[in-house]
Structure formats: C-alpha cells, structure tokens
Chain A
Amino acid sequence: MVQVDLEVRGEEGSKMEIDIKKQTDNELIFIVDGVDVPFINAIRRICMMEIPKMAIEDVDIIRNDSTLFDEVLAHRLGLIPITSSTASESIIFASECDCGGHCPKCSASFILKEKGPKVVYSKDLKPEDPDIKPVYDTVPILRLKKNEEVELAAIAQLGIGLEHAKWEPTTACAYKYYPKITVDDNCDSCGMCAEECPRGVLELKKDKIIVVDAENCSMCGTCMRICPTGAIDVGGEEGKFIFRIETDGSLSPQEILTKACEVLSEKTDRIIEFC
C-alpha cells in the first residue's frame, strides 16, 4: 500500500496541509489538502456518529399537567443539547459502569419543577453538576396554563450518534471538493457565464473571464451549459477539500475533530493488530 502511494504521489505523497478559513464557537471551516476521499469521509462519519456527548436518556415524570404527552415531553428533553466538554472526560458510558442503574460516575441529573401559567425554558432545568447544563437557556420545553404543574427528574448519559441522533454533536458536517475552474483559449469573452453564475464566482474584466471567488462555487455547471464555445470547465481538485463542521454547542468543533482523529487511529490500530 505504501509503495503504491509513493509511486503515484511521490515521496511527499502523504503530506497533509490544513488551512483554517473560519473559526467560531460552534463552526469551523477549513481547507485540507493532500488527502483522499476515503480518509476525509471517515473523518466526517466519525465526527457525526462516534463522538461521545451527553444527552438526556431517562426521565422520571412525577407530575405533568400540560397538554404535552409524557413521551413527547421526554423526547423534547432528549433533544436539548447539554454541555459535554468536561462530561466526556469525567463520565463513563452507562454500559461500562458496574452500578447497574444510574450513578454519578455514569450519569448527570436534572430537576424540573415549575407551576403555571408560564412557558418552561431549558434554563429552568436545574442541573446537579453546574458544568453539565443545557447549552441554550432559551429553548422552550412546554407551556403551562394556570395552576398546571410539571415535576420531573431527568438523567443524562453519555452516548454516540450511531445509537440515537440526540447524541450527534454536529448539525452540519460536510466537505466538498475544492473547485477548479479553467477557461481555455476558445473563450470569446461574451460574459454569459459571469451573468448566469448564481453565486457570483465569475467576473468579466477587461474582456477576460476572471474567477473571483472559487471557494463559493457549488459546481452547479450553469456556466458550462451556457457557454457557446465550451471554453469553461468546472471540476474538483483531486485531494483538496473544503470541510465544514457546525456543532449544536455541546462540544466545540475543534474538540470533535481531534477526537475523531483519535477514534480513527484507534480503529486503524485495531486493524493492524488483527492482521
């Protein structure tokens, strides 16, 4: 396998370069160069499906006078993102715990006790551990009319997206080929491609078509179809991708990406051991 790589891509074949384009609390956009599709797709799938985070799993409903059914209420609670940065280090999976039920080692609990009339928000969920709390304060959970009451205990556990979507730390997690737009000598500078491009990627300047914003190109091919001389070609650069991770706030995108790399190397180690 290594030999083939060297033949195809030379000695520096496995060199990877990463260029961060945008970085916020819950979004990370970067360009990665020098990798192949199986590798980057494995990273994407692990980011979505195999990074542990906290979510409410069990709900003991003591009283629920609201118009929402108990199971709907429990489902809504499960989907509320819960901060998991410390929890993913300190808490273990319930399946690996020998307590048999819930204990502080494998779970975190919340209490909700409210009386109407009011809208109950995620900020009303009282956490047992102040480090493990809902990410957003403003998620409406249920509405209580006058004298209606709700009382429940919710237990959050560690899980992965493979088991249930509530344990997926990413909301948008995707990559696309880095667009490669080439204009050859057949171009007669009619400017139709620049006019038709829905994303403003092309511009006609001094009788020449210039690519002004290649990264914004969605590779829809409108410019190729409209060009009367067939001079423009849109394709992807081999081995170069624009990767985007957006999270629900429970983990930062950097944490997700580094953990995904750890998971992938553990998996490859297991294969090597097996062989």
Chain B
Amino acid sequence: MIPIRCISCGKVVSAYYDEYQKRSEDGENPKEILDDLGITRYCCRRMIIAHVEAW
C-alpha cells in the first residue's frame, strides 16, 4: 500500500494514487498527470512515481 502522506512534507499523496495509476496506464505522460493533480513538490512526486504496489 502507498504511504498515506508524503514522508517529507505530509501532503496526502495517497488520495491521488489511484487516479494517477489509472491515467498513466491509459498512456498519459506522468509529468502532466502530476501537474494536473497539483502535486508540485519533488518530495511528493517521488512518493507516487517511485511507489510499487507489492501485494
């Protein structure tokens, strides 16, 4: 499971993860999805980009 909040700043990044995953599977550019979702800081962006759903 993705951590609820960004480890560095505390933004609730998990709330956007499902939408991010759906849109990136549909072939959208990850950068544009993150910008559109309002995840602007690189601490929050790495939370989503680097996450692998393990089970």
A residues neighboring B (CB under 8 Å): 67-68, 76, 79-81, 122, 135-136, 138-143, 165, 168, 170-172, 246, 248-249
Contact = CB atoms under 8 A, between A and B. Distances in A.
Interface centre among A68, A79, A135, A249 (most CB of B within 10 A): A79
A81 B14 CA distance: 12
A168 B9 CA distance: 11
Contacts of A68: 1
B42 interface: no
A67 B1 CA distance: 10
Interface in B1-43: 1-2, 4-6, 9-12, 14-19, 41
A138 B22 CA distance: 13
Contact of B19 (A79, A138, A168): A138
Interface residues of B, number: 17
A70 B11 CA distance: 24
Nearest to A174: B9
Contact of A139 (B9, B15, B41, B55): B15
B55 A143 contact: yes
A172 B18 contact: no
23 contacts: A76-B1, A79-B4, A80-B4, A81-B12, A136-B12, A136-B15, A138-B15, A138-B19, A139-B12, A139-B15, A140-B17, A141-B1, A143-B55, A165-B10, A168-B10, A171-B6, A171-B9, A171-B11, A171-B12, A172-B9, A172-B41, A248-B5, A248-B11
A72 to B, nearest CB: 9
Contact of A140 (B11, B18, B55): B18
Contact of A246 (B11, B14, B18, B19): B11
A142 B1 contact: yes
A139 B15 CA distance: 4
B54 to A, nearest CB: 10
A75 B14 CA distance: 14
Nearest to A136: B15
B12 A140 contact: no
A140 B4 CA distance: 8
Given A76-B4, A79-B5, A143-B55, A248 B12 contact: yes
Contacts of B41: 172
